[in-house]
Amino acid sequence: MVEDDAAARDALQHLFRHDGWEVTVAANLRDGLVALTRPVDWVVLDLLLPDGDGVQVLEFIRRKRMRCRVAVVTGVTDQKQLRHVAGLEPEVLLTKPVDFEQLLRIIERTDADADGGESI
Amino acid sequence: MALVLLTVVVLLGYLLIALEWRRHEVGLLSGVRRRALRRMRYTLVSGAVVGYGFIPVAMVWPGWRLYALALVLTGLLVWRLAWTRRDVKVLCRAVTRPRNTGRAQAAHAHAEVQRRSFFLNALGHDLKNPLHGVTLQAQVAETCLSSNDPDGVRRALRLMHRCTDEANALLNNFLDLGRLDCQPDAPVMAAFDAAEVLRGVAESNRVVAEQKGLALEEEIPPELPVLSDREKLERIAQNLLSNAIKYTNTGKVLIRGGVEGRSLILEVEDTGPGIPPEAQEHLFDAFYRADHPGVAQQSGYGLGLAIVDRLVRCLDGRVELDSAPGQGTRFRVSLPAAVCEPAT
């Protein structure tokens, strides 16, 4: 999870762990890219980070053809910027404030769809 | 030849006067341009001394052509030593800045609309962040309640409180700016100890600085008795210091208080990324936020400095900025006639 806002990061970490996920957190872009050296299933990504644009994480994942899925959760309201992010095809793109149950439902559905697709 | 050089010197003199006038008109002078002007002054003084020295020499010494050669060489030397390419670029930009023609006004209006739109997007983002935090922490509190974890609930409530404080501070800044633009408050002058105010501001920012691993240093004399507006001074120092901490990732932030003549001087220095010359001109505009690498689009930039600018003007003071990319930033506020005679 790459998120610079302490309250949101703390909450998401708590809620995902409570739901049985193993979570690695990063508060900035650099730590986020470092965390990707270990295999992960999902990346929950904020866009405006103190040391750069979170899009770089998404671009890195796409460039390296990593198998992890990406949920972009952002407060960005600029349509141009959002279109650019959508162009990189993250599995999930949500704008803040996000309800955790909703995020979890979408993540689980995406996993189920993809796994279903693979078994066929 | 000498006549041409003298004419050049005179023209440069006029240019210098124009730039000084521009400096007063703009009110804020960046460090880069100030240094360029100082070098230009050295050049002019040396040029004028050598140039006018030529007249008596030519009268008494027929071999004056040699002197003219020396003049050219001196001129070249002064130019080479005193001016760098960057100075010339900075000064050229200052001179060739668009005038108030229709096209320039339209471009200015367009830029203003873009800044406003950028600002509203930034404000939207900054408000959504704490809201997001509150929403998620409320869900954390629910899970903690169901698992009978009172400490977890308390922690979630504390974080929710911090989020609402953040949103509240942001809205207050926004409203203050609107108020200052429409109807600036008259200063409420009173005698007080500015050193105590500045120390208080430093203390209130210490925790945030330490959390970022920054050293927060104070250079404040034991007492600074002044006659000024306490609340406005506190706000100016608070905005400058919190801004410096926000944009500095490593190193230190320094707050300095002092007296110069009868003016109170407040300086805030940081070892942050610095501000590029082109951004310095707009830094105090309400809807401007500098884009600098390493601190991409952080929150609140447009408001804090715009408020500082308005408050300083309200107190008839002056704010100066000395910054260059990679070399940190120094804001210097001087509030005239604010210092009281020391009590005897």
Sheet holding B329-335, edge to edge: B215-219, B252-260, B263-270, B329-335, B318-323
Q: pLDDT at position B106, please?
A: 81
Nearest Cβ partner for A8 among B136, B294, B295: B136
Q: pLDDT at position B293, please?
A: 40
Q: pLDDT at position B295, please?
A: 39
Q: pLDDT at position B270, please?
A: 94
Q: pLDDT at position B105, please?
A: 77
Mean pLDDT, range B41-67, rounded to an integer: 69
Only one residue has tokens 């910027």, namely A81
Q: pLDDT at position B196, please?
A: 94
Residues of A in contact with B207 (CB under 8 A): none
Q: Please report, rounded to a whole number, the percentage of residues in chain B having pLDDT higher than 70.
A: 71
To the nearest whole angstrom, how far is the Cα of A116 from the nearest Cα of chain B? 30
Contact B115, B288 (CB under 8 A): yes
Mean pLDDT, range B116-131, rounded to an integer: 80
Could you give the CA distance from residue B107 to residue A83 in angstroms, rounded to a whole number? 26
Which one has a higher pLDDT value, B16 or B108? B108
Residues of B in contact with A51 (CB under 8 A): 249, 294-296
To the nearest whole angstrom, how far is the Cα of B40 from the nearest Cα of chain A? 38
Residue B158 pLDDT > 60, yes or no?
yes
Residue B28 pLDDT > 50, yes or no?
no
Q: Please report, rounded to a whole number, the percentage of residues in chain A having pLDDT higher than 90.
A: 62
- Decide if B129 touches A, using CB distance below 8 A: yes
Q: With 0.95 as the threshold, say if the pTM is over it.
A: no
Residue B222 pLDDT > 90, yes or no?
yes
To the nearest whole angstrom, how far is the Cα of A63 from the nearest Cα of chain B? 22
Contact B252, B222 (CB under 8 A): no
Nearest to B248 by CA among B216, B224, B219, B221: B216
Q: pLDDT at position A61, please?
A: 93
Residues of A in contact with B140 (CB under 8 A): 10-11, 14-15
Residues of A in contact with B131 (CB under 8 A): 96-97
Contact A27, A56 (CB under 8 A): no
Mean pLDDT, range B231-242, rounded to an integer: 92
With a threshold of 0.90, tell me whether the complex ipTM lies above it.
Answer: no
Which one has a higher pLDDT value, B12 or B136? B136
To the nearest whole angstrom, how far is the Cα of A74 from the nearest Cα of chain B? 8
Lowest mean pLDDT among B19-23, B283-287, B292-296: B292-296
Please answer yes or no on whether B139 and A96 come within 8 Å at the CB atom. no
Task: Report chain B's mean pLDDT, rounded to a whole number.
Answer: 79
Mean pLDDT, range B289-304, rounded to an integer: 50
Q: At what angle do helices B150-182 and B301-314 cross, to 10 degrees?
A: 50
